Structure 1
Amino acid sequence: MELELRHLRVICTVADTGSVTKAAARLGLAQPALTAQLNRIERALGGTLFERDRRGSRPTPLGELVLARARMLLPAVSELREEAARLANSAGEDTAHYRIGATNGPMLGGLMHHLGAARPQARISPQSSWSADELTDLVAAGRLDYALVGVCGESAPPAAAGVRWRLLAVDPVFVLLPEDHPLAGKDEVDLSDLAEARWSATPGDGCFGDCFAAACARAGFAPRDLYETDVVSCVDLVRSGDAIALCQPTFREMPGVIPVPIAGIPLRWRQFIGWHSGCQSPEEVARLAGHALSAYADVLARSPRYTDWLAGHPGFGMN
């Protein structure tokens, strides 16, 4: 195995936290996975880097040597990346390339539109995923420049070395009902009124499923089946009356279905943009975040029901 920069970050994190368990939490990895990775690094370097016991992990003489070199190399590489990114982004429209990943959310298409209008010669490469963790890892590895993700409630976005996040918007979660549903014409619905419903939602990692189950429990019932499927299938299930979908309030209205607020706002969804601090300049991050917020404003303009809801609910919408 050849030693890579990510291996040096692992060594520094273990030393900084004094524990493989704490280092795994900071890096967003499972503890067994980090232990296995550390063992491979030690084999590649030819010796033990840390003395590990119930009191924690302390560097060996070899570990001290590697740490000293790593603490010089990592800042130097981060500085190199930042300077290279600034040079690339200032070198002209024809050389700019933006690799942007997104989970299921309202901003990616509009962000591409606004970015393309501002930099018409730039290359834009989008990538979609159900997993915020996957996109975060790609940003950390330098394979994506930015990620647009959503997280449930007060949960933090995924953690990865070097990845930073900016909050863009806070939205409630609505329910998507068939247009002929008895509750479809209401300004909001009580979750308890949907106790007998079957449910559908788009898949993803994080705690949303647990938060939904907890919200149902507070409303006095346990939800029936929750079908995790793509957006089109969710809409089809709702339109046919086979399920009710959990949806973002920015959902573009379609024939046969209506998004309706849930009374008491039991579920929230926060929209973030992420980037690698060593690869993007603050000025470039601010520009991309601005384009993302412009895309969000476009979505609001097409969502009169949600715009009306926001007027009576300060603290939601754009951050």
Structure 2
Amino acid sequence: MELEVRHLRALCAIADAGSLHKAARQLGMSQPSLTTQLRRIENALGAELFSRGRTGCRPTALGRSVLSRARPLVADMAALVTETLAEAARVEGPELRVGSTASRALPGWLRRLRERFPGTDVGLRVDVSANALLREVAGGRLDVAFVHEVEGCPLRVPDGLVRRVLVSREPQFISLAPAHPAAARPVVDLADLARDHWMVDPSVDGEWDGLRRVLTAAGIDPPVLHGDYHTAASLIALGEAVAPCQPTSVPREDLAVRPLRGDPLAVRLTLYARPTTPLAPLHATLTDAYREAARRSPAYRSWLRDGGTAGPCLLPDRP
């Protein structure tokens, strides 16, 4: 087996993510496929490159040696691709490459960007990993990234990026079945959910660590299920679980959305770019889109009007 750039990129992703599961998500492949690929690489080299354990994957001594040589090669290849695409863009027309973690403000932001920059090809990449998007910006593969940072779990921001904060502290609400006893109240206490199964996606940077910190501080230890939030929605509707959710979430007939008392869970919403990217118009259009998303959520609209701390600039317009 001959090592190719894709193999080196996979090794770097595993080292950066610290687990095969997270690395597979970042690479857009299944974990079994990545595990098989890693096994083939190690068989070709005749030794283990990562030690696997319950806490994740860590490079062995040989793995660190291989990574020290692989990273420059991967970076050079990424630079080659970036420069080629940039040259093509100069011929074909302007391009704006946008990255984002999940957000209900995203559709409105894209619409406003296309209105603000007519003739510009606005491309989009959505990723569960904010850290992965920041690396893409630093590497020149994205122009801007809109990411959330879980409180108490700092992102690994590459050197040289500039930022504009959209919301310094966005509260995370709770999604639960309408028949849940706590759903009858406008604000939910964590203690009311102590016996519920909590659903969390561990592949989202900081999500599980942030939730665990808050639950521990509240003195409760509920059962936790790990899975993506599409699966969570089905379980919540059946009354089998509860889950943190964005305050811009819109309630459905089978899902209720409520704020948590004291806002113990929160994230910071930020735009990151390289210094050559003008952030002011991107920030202005995103602010308008976020305000629009907030207006569509009854729970968030009430929270903001009652003095929520997200910031006066985000108070939704009166209907």
Counterparts of 1:193 and 1:125 in 2: how far apart (Å)?
43
SS of the residue corresponding to residue 167 of structure 1 reads: strand
1:205/1:233 Cα in 2 relative to 1: closer, same or farther (>3 Å)? Answer: closer
- TM-score, structure 2 as length reference: 0.68
Aligned residue for 2:116? Answer: 118
SS of the residue corresponding to residue 280 of structure 2 reads: helix
Aligned residue for 2:303? Answer: 309
The aligned amino acid for 1:168 is L
Within a 5 Å distance, the mapping from 1:21-170 to structure 2 comes to 36=65, 40=69, 95-169=93-167, 170=169
Counterparts of 2:202 and 2:100 in 1: how far apart (Å)?
14
Alignment of 1:261 onto 2:255: no
> How well do the aligned residues superpose, as a CA RMSD in angstroms?
3.3
1:212/1:110 Cα in 2 relative to 1: closer, same or farther (>3 Å)? Answer: same
1:119/1:221 Cα in 2 relative to 1: closer, same or farther (>3 Å)? Answer: same
Alignment of 1:208 onto 2:207: yes
Alignment of 1:297 onto 2:306: no
Conserved? CA contact 1:201–1:247, under 8 Å: no
1:302/1:39 Cα in 2 relative to 1: closer, same or farther (>3 Å)? Answer: closer
SS of the residue corresponding to residue 125 of structure 2 reads: strand
Computing the radius of gyration over CA atoms, which structure comes out larger, 1 or 2? 1
Alignment of 1:234 onto 2:232: yes
Unaligned 5+ segments in structure 1 are 1-29, 45-80
How many Å apart are 1:276 and its aligned residue?
Answer: 1.3
Counterparts of 1:121 and 1:143 in 2: how far apart (Å)?
20
1:33/1:184 Cα in 2 relative to 1: closer, same or farther (>3 Å)? Answer: farther
Conserved? CA contact 2:134–2:145, under 8 Å: yes
The aligned amino acid for 2:200 is A
Conserved? CA contact 2:201–2:207, under 8 Å: no
Per-residue CA deviations over 1:263-308 (Å, capped at 9, x if unaligned) read 121111111111112x31xxx2100111111110110111122111
Counterparts of 1:314 and 1:251 in 2: how far apart (Å)?
16
How many Å apart are 1:204 and its aligned residue?
Answer: 3.6
- TM-score, structure 1 as length reference: 0.68
The aligned amino acid for 2:140 is G
1:235/1:131 Cα in 2 relative to 1: closer, same or farther (>3 Å)? Answer: same
How many Å apart are 1:182 and its aligned residue?
Answer: 1.2
1:39/1:116 Cα in 2 relative to 1: closer, same or farther (>3 Å)? Answer: closer
How many Å apart are 1:166 and its aligned residue?
Answer: 1.6
The aligned amino acid for 2:185 is K
How many Å apart are 1:35 and its aligned residue?
Answer: 6.9
Conserved? CA contact 2:175–2:256, under 8 Å: yes
Count residues with an aligned counterpart: 245
How many Å apart are 1:254 and its aligned residue?
Answer: 1.9
How many Å apart are 1:34 and its aligned residue?
Answer: 11
How many Å apart are 1:177 and its aligned residue?
Answer: 1.0
Conserved? CA contact 1:100–1:127, under 8 Å: yes
SS of the residue corresponding to residue 148 of structure 1 reads: strand
How many Å apart are 1:130 and its aligned residue?
Answer: 0.8
The aligned amino acid for 1:236 is S
Per-residue CA deviations over 1:232-251 (Å, capped at 9, x if unaligned) read 32211111111111101111
How many Å apart are 1:38 and its aligned residue?
Answer: 9.2
SS of the residue corresponding to residue 183 of structure 2 reads: coil
Conserved? CA contact 1:102–1:148, under 8 Å: yes
How many Å apart are 1:192 and its aligned residue?
Answer: 1.1
How many Å apart are 1:175 and its aligned residue?
Answer: 0.7
How many Å apart are 1:218 and its aligned residue?
Answer: 2.5
User: Relative to structure 2, which stretch is displaced further, 32-41 or 141-150?
Assistant: 32-41
